[in-house]
Every structure is written in C-alpha cells, then in structure tokens.
Amino acid sequence: MSFWIKLLRRSRKNNSHVRLPEHVHKAIPASSSVGGDASPSRNDGREDERVPWMKQQLANCSDIVFREFKIKAGYRCTLIYIRSTVDQTTIQDVILRGLLDYSGSEDNGLIRYLFDDQAISVSEIKIVTETSEALKTVLSFGIVLMIEGESRIMTFPSASSLSTRAIEEAPNESVIRGPREAFNESLDTSLSLVRRRLKSKNLKTEELNLGSETNTRFVIAYIEGICKPELVQEIKRRLSYLEIDAVLGSSTLEETIEDSPYSPFPQIEYTERPDIVSASLLEGRVGIIVDGTPSAILAPVTLPMLLQTSEDYFQRYIAATWIRWIRYLFLFVSLLLPSLYIAITTFHPEMIPYKLLMTIAAAREIVPFPAFVEAFIMELSFEALREASIRIPKSIGQAVSIIGALIIGTAAVQAGIVSAAMVIIVSLTGIASFMIPHFDLGLSIRLLRFPIMALASMLGLFGITCGLIILYIHLLNLKSLGVPYLYPFTPLVKADLNDTLVRAPWWAMRNRPEALTRNEQRLKKNPRGWVKQKED
C-alpha cells in the first residue's frame, strides 16, 4: 500500500492522474488527504459516490433538484435543494454567480476560495463532512453544494423561503389592554418575538431535533441566572427518552415530560402569547417552542398560574384582584352547581326555602326522570353543542350554537323532558366554565363534573364532600417538574401569596416565586421611594 501512496504523491506533483486500486481507496479516510494537505484533493475519487447516494436516498421525490454544472477551473459541482422551499434569488444571484465568476486555474484554488475564504456572500454557511448531515440540511429546506473530489460539503441552512402566516392577534387569548401579537408556525419568527421583549445576553435558547421522520426543530428557552440549572437538565433528561418517528406539535413533548400522565389536570401550560412566555421566563420557568406549532409550552406550572391571564398585569391591580376572585368563585360553580342541585333536591329539600321548593316541585312534576338523569342529559347536550360550534364553519358556528341551545332547551321544557330550573342550572354552569382562562383546565373541570354528579345522586351532600376530599388529596400529590401543584397554598409560602388570590401592585412584588428560582430578588429598591423623599 505504501508504494501506491508514494506513487499518488509523485503524480500530484506532476499534475498527472493515477487511479488507485479499490483496497487503497478503502484504506484512505474520506476526511483526510493522502498528500497531507489541509483540504483533500478534488480527484480523490471516493467522494464521487456521494451524489448517487443522495439521489438514491431522495429517489421518487419530484421536488428535489440536483443541479449539476461545471465551472472554468474544471470542477464539477452539484447543488441539491427542494424547489418549492428555497429562495431562487439566493441560488441564481449569489451561489451560482459566486461559483461561475471564479476565474482561478491553480490546483485547489476553488477549494480555498470557497472553504477557506468563504467568498460566497450568504448569511450562514456551514461546512460538514458527513453526507447524512447534508441530507438533513436538504430536508430542512437548506441548500447543499458538493464539489467532485472534495470531502467537505458546503451547506446553506438559512436559504429557506417558506411562506409563513403573518403575526396576528391570539384568537384564543384575546385581551382588551395589552399586546396583540401572537406566535405563528415559524420557529424563528416566534423566537424573535420573545427576543424582542427580552434583550438580554442571559436569554439562552438551545435548539434540538426530534422525530426520525419529521426531524422537528424545537428550542428550549430559559434565562441563565434566574432559571434553576437542574430544571433545564431535568427537562432534557426526560426528552432524551423520546424516540419517535414524528413530532407534529408541542403536545407530544408535553405528554412526555409531565409528571402524572393519568391525571386529568394539565401539568404543562401552553400559550400563544410571547408576552406570557417572556414573563414566565423572568419567573424562572422554562419555555419550549416547537417549529410548526403556534403555541409555546411552559413548565413548571401550578393551579393558581392557570387561573391568571396576561390582562391581569395590564389592568389596575384592584380590578385585576376582583376579577381573580370571580374566577375562583365560578371555578367552583362550574364544578359543583349541578351536583349541589341534584343533592339538595333529592336528599335535602328542607334546605330550600318553601316558596322556591314549591316552584321547583311544580316544574319537575311532569318530568319523568330523576334529577341526576335530567342533569346528565342536559350537560351532555350542552357539551355536544359546544363541540359542534367548534367543528362547523365559523360563519355559521355561533348561530348554530346559540339557536340550537335556545330551541333544544325550550322544546325540552315544553315536552316535559327537563325542568326549567335544570335549564337555568346548566346554563349558569356553562357560562362559569367559559370564565376559566386555560382551556385544558376548563376541560378537566367539565370532565370531573360528571363523577361528582354521580356521587351527589347516590349520597347527597356527603357524596359531594367525599368527591372533593378525593380531589383535594389528588391535587396535594400532584407535581409539575417537582413543584407542588397547589403552590403557594400548600406548602404555604406567605411571600408568594401576593400574586395568587390577589394581584399585588408591581412595586409590591419585589421577589420572584421561591419555588421556581434561586435569584428571588426582582426589584433592587422600593420604586415608591420617591414618596418619602418628597415628604422630607
């Protein structure tokens, strides 16, 4: 073998070409040159198999372009890209012109021109040596440049020209006062909206890929110095166990990292609003933004956090506190109102005032079903109308849901299937469920309403009490990334109660949540200190 290597070195000096036997080719690494130069010879021969390999891997893909051409220096080049996803201006005016304008004739001159000088004026260039990495770049909407005989491959990852949805208002998290921007399906756009609010060198974004078929990009975002490092490591550790063919949305990651997958309560928060993500990162939480999904997920999360909205922090704190009290009240109304009606009318009618009792009894006199069956039918009908209003076209969805509810409710009362009082109870319950800010939490409350109704029909108020005790024990044992779900109520942390049942003014919230961060201090000094100075 040493004889053939010496012969190859001598041939290079004489500008002659010698074809080596196959066993010598296999003995020479692809990433090194026989002559010991920094860049391999363009006549190595082994690299010629890369383009056919790429064509084999991308066979039957009509949108994949293999643009083969030859330039003045005698080099054969191949551009590989997806036709519909790449900026044609970048290909024609930048890459091709940069190659065709090269007029050098010296050996390895083009290699130095491209790889050492990086003369092509594209914003991002990445040099790889593995053909599999080049294949990933093509499938991620980049451009790959291969030069015959050169082991290194030039890739242009940021050449994508995919059209994205414009930045619009969040349809599911609308506010009266506050920013109107929302994430879209582009990871880079969504990340830029967070960067726009957090112009800090401590904002760290680690990009990862998951899915053997989708190769989905996602970013783990956190603020260094505020977020606990062990929290980031724990999320990475849990995600490392996910080996799946496709990640089509953030829900896949959400179900992977949550502590209790069989709990009806959401343990990961999702949002479409960049201001909520920014505020959460400043509290020490971790955000995950997935490419192709217009919502980010946040962890850890607690029950009080799911009952807060971004508008709470843009309104005056007195009004925001009052609205929060209403939310907590109607959370219990949504969960317990039908059950209380069933329990009191069935087991404890003495608790109802006499005149009201006579009215309810007269309304239910012609109803053939017990209170539980009556409530079950109405609740199930209400859930069907709610789901139908979401699935049918928007132009008729609202009309169908409102008219359908009115017609069905009125017809059911006139037919004697349900009582008018039950229609009122179910309507109030539905309105109360709409007041829960987080959709998944509202869905959990709607689901738990049915077993509590069953307990009320069997045991009355005692059954409701047993159901609430079981629910409370479950919430006590529930955690989100190690943080108790009922924090700061249990365990009780008085310093963090100023942002739960009440929304304290900004100047009073001097510290971050104790359970989420090690850097607790938010305000360096009293922002209202100017009042005392003025008095002095």
Query: For the chain, what is the largest distance between any 2 Cα atoms, rounded to a whole number of angstroms?
Result: 114
pLDDT of amino acid 15: 40
State whether residue 156 is helix, strand or coil: strand
How confident is the model over 325-361, as pLDDT tens digits?
A: 999 999 999 999 999 999 999 999 989 898 888 888 8
pLDDT of amino acid 44: 46
Distance CA 288, CA 282 (A): 14
In sequence order, what are the residues at sequence separation of 6 or more whose Cβ sits closer than 8 angstroms to the Cβ of residue 499? 304, 308, 509, 513
Distance CA 432, CA 332 (A): 9
In sequence order, what are the residues at sequence separation of 6 or more whose Cβ sits closer than 8 angstroms to the Cβ of residue 444? 264, 265, 266
Candidates 525, 518, 526; CA nearest to 283 is 518
Most confident by average pLDDT, 92-106, 365-379, 449-463 = 449-463
pLDDT of amino acid 192: 92
Q: How confident is the model at residue 35 (pLDDT cuts 50, 70, 90)?
A: very low
How confident is the model over 251-301, as pLDDT tens digits?
A: 999 999 999 999 999 999 999 999 999 999 999 999 999 999 999 999 999
pLDDT of amino acid 109: 72
Residue 8 has pLDDT above 60, yes or no: no
Q: Which of 76-80, 322-326, 385-389 has the lowest mean pLDDT?
A: 385-389
Residues above pLDDT 70, as percent of the chain: 85
Distance CA 532, CA 527 (A): 11
Q: Which of 38-52, 250-264, 307-321 has the lowest mean pLDDT?
A: 38-52
Q: How confident is the model at residue 535 (pLDDT cuts 50, 70, 90)?
A: low
* Average pLDDT score over residue span 40-49: 48
Calculate the average pLDDT of the chain. 83
State whether residue 81 is helix, strand or coil: strand
Residue 222 has pLDDT above 80, yes or no: yes
Positive/negative CA dihedral, 516, 519, 525, 527: negative
Residues above pLDDT 90, as percent of the chain: 41
pLDDT of amino acid 34: 30
How distant is the alpha carbon of residue 170 from its chain centre?
Answer: 14
* Average pLDDT score over residue span 225-236: 94
pLDDT of amino acid 277: 95
pLDDT of amino acid 409: 77
Distance CA 245, CA 86 (A): 25
Q: Are 272 and 170 in contact (CB under 8 A)?
A: yes
Residue 99 has pLDDT above 90, yes or no: no
Which residue blocks in 301-393 are alpha helix, DSSP H?
A: 303-306, 317-347, 354-364, 371-391
Q: How confident is the model at residue 32 (pLDDT cuts 50, 70, 90)?
A: very low
Residue 406 has pLDDT above 80, yes or no: no
pLDDT of amino acid 283: 92
Residue tagged 């109870």 (tokens) = 425
356/43: higher pLDDT: 356
Q: Which of 230-244, 276-290, 512-526 has the lowest mean pLDDT?
A: 512-526
480/174: higher pLDDT: 480
* Average pLDDT score over residue span 6-10: 46
Q: Which of 55-69, 71-85, 143-157, 177-191 has the lowest mean pLDDT?
A: 71-85
Distance CA 19, CA 44 (A): 9
Distance CA 237, CA 190 (A): 25
